[in-house]
Amino acid sequence: MSQRKYNQLWADVHLELSRLLKEELPAEPPRPEKDRVVFFQRLAMLYVRYIQIFRQLEKVYDQVVHPQKRQLIRVILNGVIGRVLELKNEMVEKEFSEYHYMDDVLHDLKLKPADLEIPIPRYFISERSKELQQRKMMLTDILKMVEDTESPEPLKAKDMSQEEALKIIQVAERARQGRLRAKLNEESRKMNRMYSTKDSGTADTELASVCIQKVWRGYIQRKRAKIARDEEMIFLGMVMDPKYQVPLPAEITAQAIEASLRIKQEEYEDDYQKSVVAVTNKIRDVEGDDISKTMKDQIQQWFIECRDATGSFPDYPDVEDGGSALIFAEKDPQQLMEEIAAKEEEDSSNKPKGKEEKKEKGKKDKGKDDEEEEEAGLKMLPSAFLSDLEVGNKTFADFWKTRNESRNYNQRHEVELIQEEKRKDIEAEIRLQVDEQMRQKLAEWKLAVDKDKGGKTKGNAKKKKGSKSGKKKKKEKDLTSDRTLESLCQELVENGLLKQANNVRLQDYLGDYSYLGTTLRQNDIEPMPSLSDVRQVLSLYAVLPLGSQLVHEKAPLIKAILLAGPAGVGKKMLVHAICQETGANLFDLSPLNTAGKYPGKSGLAMMLHMVFKVARLLQPSVIWIEDTEKMFYKKVPKEEKELDPKRLKKDLPKSLKLIKGEDRVLIIGTTKDPSSADIKSLCKMYSKIILIPRPDYGSRYILWKQLIKKQGGEVTRALDLSSLAKISDGYTPGHMVQVIQSTVTKRRILQQANRPLTAAEFVAPLAKIDPVFQEEEEALKNWYAKTPLGKKRIKAATGKEEEEVPAKGKDAKKKKGKK
């Protein structure tokens, strides 16, 4: 598409965004909704509409080349991502489930399930490609150094007795003789066939020709029938036309144009940054003195006007209040003096003391409780992103929507906009310098003219000192302050704590959409999530916050996620995919990986300090804890006591508390046996628990098809995928990969032309593997029902939650007291 088309798409996005903002920010606040189902439907509708905006904006940001437009699009895109995460968090709190089913919403909006897929912004990786490449090179170099320093073990000759040697020689000789004997027998059989053939005489020519005709006509008719059947299936839309399976020339050209536009973006961005530096220097050199002189004249005039109006020189506004920026507001000197005096009184006034004030506060609080009781119901939580979206939408409407760009065909940066923006920044810089000079000048004037008020300035100075002194925050001790980042990385790599993530993407985690989720919930049946739902949830909870700093700081903070599911469902793959999608570093603090490393309390403290320090410095980072249930064992098995799997149980949650909004560090634990752990400690550590089930029929069908193709196999009519998906109920993606690798070998791939793959070939190796039985899945369900969110879900399903919600005020306090 051309740049004009992307600009039009951007305008359409803002049209839909303005409608959403009108709904979310009405003139009068909406009344609380009492019906939970209606409220959730409203949330789901907003969520789906914001996702559509997200998808379109991501496409626009990826292809628009104008540098100044991209800045605004990026701000709005981050705002939309943040709003999607807020709505998801609100839906979880209202429905008490990590998974939501919106079949009815999709039907109402005439959308496909694919439209609900969370897109992963390409700029997460593209804008950090150089940094990621350098980091990858650093890790590769460290790994090479580690491999080189490890001395290879010398080859040792195996001691062998004379009898064993003779036995090996005999076996080899007998095998050689057997091969020769088989070869001679084959040759003799061929000779016998040659001599045994008798002259059959003159064959019946007519009978032979009829036989040949039968075979040929049958072959031709079957071929025609197959072609007719394929044409019918293509016409009905049941099968894709083979010509569309291969990329069309137009698609290849479009991909090449998109790639060239990304290169243009980098070029235009470099030109824009150079122009910003040049314009800034030019304004500072040419206009800096004039701006400074004008400011000084205006401030001096203000001094004189204040003295004429009040009889004394004013106090200079503090830096925190904006300095001389307050002076240039459209106010009289008298008004400014009153404002400054009022602020001083507020600062000097102490906190409210005494019982009377507390009583007044209590009365106010009671009044608020009464209001809440009167307006009982469900309300939308306050948003941290709607104000940003409103400002961004207004900027587009006021400036870019009506801007004439007929002369800027190539969509390069506009110097006028840079000048307007940088002139404000330079004025702010000069204002700070002018403020310092004029404060000194004001002090000199006061000493010269208002000597009797000299004590006031001292009092103010003391006040400033007092304001600076406050409670000093405890800083975390840096145990490795004398070491470089490279040396810390090298040590972590050598100990196997810092690893390279496998090259897998989140889209490689295959799974089908759950089409019956809404129907089952309407019939009070809790559906098991599909693998597609798992992929969606991890995109929201892990990938989007880790990929964007602004989103991570403002969105609901998620520090730790637990992935629970049977072996082979792809927990490890998901961890590596999150790292690849966000360019995050992977730290491995699994109990088996840390066993024997950094012994003792001091060693453990050093290990955690190094991991979290490097994770913060090289953020985004993912800290992976495989088999995390071992950390919280109820009772440690005898065979694992030497490994001390619970050594991180106390110290790791303490380190987790130190993670703040600005730290893009995420802890991901994986477990296949969560019931063996203490559930209270486990749930305290992990704020989000994602249950990953075995794949359903739709997911199994997609998995068999795609995994066979990936291995090099051809999916033909001879391969009954539907039956294969049916009989593989209970098997995980890991089991399927294992079966496909053992069946679709290099030799079997070469034989496909003459002998296509069939479903029967996969049955035998599949039967040798134990599936995930229903009992194991039920045990996982029962365990999840004991988690905080699982308990809330059960209460909501039984109707207890609705009974508990209205109880507020004194009754609620009594209940708390009893607990």
Question: How would DSSP label each residue in 215-271?
Answer: HHHHHHHHHHHHHHHHHHHHHHTSS--HHHHSPPHHHHHHHHHHHHHHHHHHHHHHH
Does the pLDDT value for residue 811 go beyond 50? no
Indicate whether 709 pLDDT > 50.
yes
Higher pLDDT, 238 or 580: 580
* CA 198 to chain centroid: 78
Q: Which residue from 33, 72, 79, 30 is spatially nearest to 53, judged by alpha carbons?
A: 79
The mean pLDDT value for 347-352 works out to 52
Range from 70-74, 161-165, 307-311, 450-454 carrying the lowest mean pLDDT: 450-454
Look at residue 472 in the predicted model and tell me its pLDDT.
Answer: 47
- Percent of the chain with pLDDT strictly greater than 90: 20
In tens, the pLDDT along 261-285 reads: 888 888 888 888 898 899 888 888 8
> What per-residue confidence (pLDDT) applies to 179?
92
Positions of E strands within 387-510: 498-499
Mean pLDDT, residues 305-330 taken together: 71
Burial code (b: 16+ CB inside 10 Å, e: under 16) for 666-695 equals: bbbbbbbbbebbbeebbbebbbbbbbbbbb
Identify the pLDDT of residue 169. 93
Specify the pLDDT at position 149: 59
**pLDDT tens profile 631-645:** 888 888 888 788 888
DSSP 317-344: PPTTTTGGGGTTSS--HHHHHHHHHHHH
State residue 355's pLDDT score: 45
| Mean pLDDT computed over 24-39 | 82
Which tens digit of pLDDT belongs to each residue from 565-588? 998 898 999 999 999 999 899 999
pTM for this prediction? 0.79
How many alpha carbons fall within 13 Å on the CB side of residue 334?
A: 4
Whether residue 295 contacts residue 434, with contact meaning beta carbons closer than 8 Å, is answered with: yes
Q: Is 591 within 8 Å of 643 (Cβ atoms)?
A: yes
CA dist 807 and 813 (Å) reads 10
pLDDT band at 5 (very low <50, low <70, confident <90, very high): confident
Name the pLDDT band for 740 (thresholds 50, 70, 90).
Answer: very high
Q: What is the pLDDT of residue 459?
A: 40
Most confidently predicted of 435-439, 576-580, 598-602: 576-580
Mean pLDDT of all residues in 45-50: 92
Which H or E run contains 667?
A: strand 665-671
- Asked if residue 487 has pLDDT above 60, the reply is yes
Instruction: Give pLDDT, residue 241.
Output: 83
DSSP annotation string for 461-494 = HHHHHHHH--PPPPPPP-TTTTS-HHHHHHHHHH
Q: Which two tokens stand for residue 308?
A: 């004429």
Going by pLDDT thresholds of 50, 70 and 90, the confidence category of residue 816 is very low
Q: Is the pLDDT of residue 354 over 50?
A: no
> Is the CB of residue 90 less than 8 Å from the CB of residue 43?
yes
pLDDT at position 127: 83
pLDDT at residue 176 in the model? 93
Task: Look at residue 376 in the predicted model and tell me its pLDDT.
Answer: 66
